Amino acid sequence: MKLSWESRLGIVLIFISASIYYIKFLLVGDPENTLNYLLNSLGYLPLNVLLVTLILNRLLANRSKEAKLEKLNIVVGTFFSEVGTWLLTYLSDNDPNLHNLRGDLVNIDRWSDDEFRRVQDKLKSHKYSIQIGTIDIKALHKYLTAKRDFSLRLLENPVLLENESFTNLLRAVFHLTEELEQRGDFSSLPDSDLLHLSVDVERAYHLLVMEWIAYMMYLNRNYPYLFSLAMRTNPFDESACVMVK
């Protein structure tokens, strides 16, 4: 049976340790002292395992998690810069219940993390509906098709494995793009098909809102200058202006 590299390494380390003790015994010739030293070493071994395995490994894991989170949020920020902010603005303008959202998504520049979490919980139960009849489906199709390659490249990014919610958002947007691409003529779609498309749009809209507020909380905590720009282009704030006044 072929041994794994961990097993081979363990055998080699045990052999090296035994060889060192044997050489010490040959040179010093004091079996009692050698045995005493061996027992002392074995007594320290559990503490060494505790230090290395539990404490240092936890510190390294936390550091690695923070680095992955940083890379992930770079990807999220790129998505909103290229696709998400425009799409969120366009879809929210066709949300008949937008007035229920606006009060919670403007003037958030002084929020604490607890306030962000409270709003996140509230947004989960919001009724996300889109008036599909007011949407220019042809224009939406043109925009999403132009961003198709960009969305595909994001899906291929391995860092997304660390965030299921953002991956679901990309899949929802990509699925909506595919649905629209399969329809050649948008002028004569039956009501049943429009209803189907509205479900796909509302799914993407819901995930967009949830991911946007999570990203805003991250920027508010870590990058005030990026958060400032995000607030000056807030898709839910009708009075938002990119110019600093």
Which tens digits make up the pLDDT trace of 188-200? 888 898 889 999 9
Answer yes or no: do 128 and 213 share one domain. yes
Contact 213, 119 (CB under 8 A): yes
Decide: 208 and 80 in contact? Cβ < 8 Å: no
Contact 89, 162 (CB under 8 A): no
Cβ(209)–Cβ(128) below 8 Å: yes
52 and 84 housed in the same domain: no
Give yes or no: residues 78 and 55 share one domain: no
Within this chain, do residues 194 and 98 fall inside the same structural domain, yes or no?
yes
Is the pLDDT assigned to residue 244 strictly greater than 70? Answer: yes
Other beta carbons within 10 Å of 39 = 10
Tens of pLDDT, residues 138-190: 889 999 999 988 888 887 777 776 678 888 998 999 999 999 888 877 888 88
Q: Does residue 240 or residue 70 have the better pLDDT?
A: 70
Give how far Cα 156 sits from Cα of 153, 168, 170, Å. 5, 13, 11
Q: Are 140 and 172 in contact (CB under 8 A)?
A: no
How many domains are contained in the chain?
A: 2
Q: What is the CA radius of gyration of the chain?
A: 29
| Percent of the chain whose pLDDT exceeds 90 | 11
Low-confidence winner among 70-84, 141-155, 167-181, 231-245 (lowest mean pLDDT): 231-245
Q: Are residues 50 and 94 in the same domain?
A: no
Q: What is the DSSP letter of 3?
A: P
> Which tokens belong to 159?
């860092």
Least confident of 107-111, 153-157, 217-221: 107-111
- Establish if 136 belongs to a structural domain: yes
pLDDT surpassing 80 at residue 203: yes
**Where does the chain have alpha helices with state H?**
5-28, 31-49, 57-79, 85-92, 98-105, 113-124, 137-146, 148-155, 164-181, 191-222, 224-232
Residue 110 banded pLDDT, cuts 50, 70, 90? confident
In the predicted structure, residue 208 carries a pLDDT above the cut 90: yes
Indicate if 10 and 91 belong to the same structural domain. no
For residue 97, how many other CB atoms are within 10 A of its CB? Answer: 13
Domain range spanning residue 47?
Answer: 5-59
> Does one domain contain both 218 and 182?
yes
Query: What per-residue confidence (pLDDT) applies to 26?
Result: 75
Angle between helix 191-222 and 113-124 (nearest 10): 170
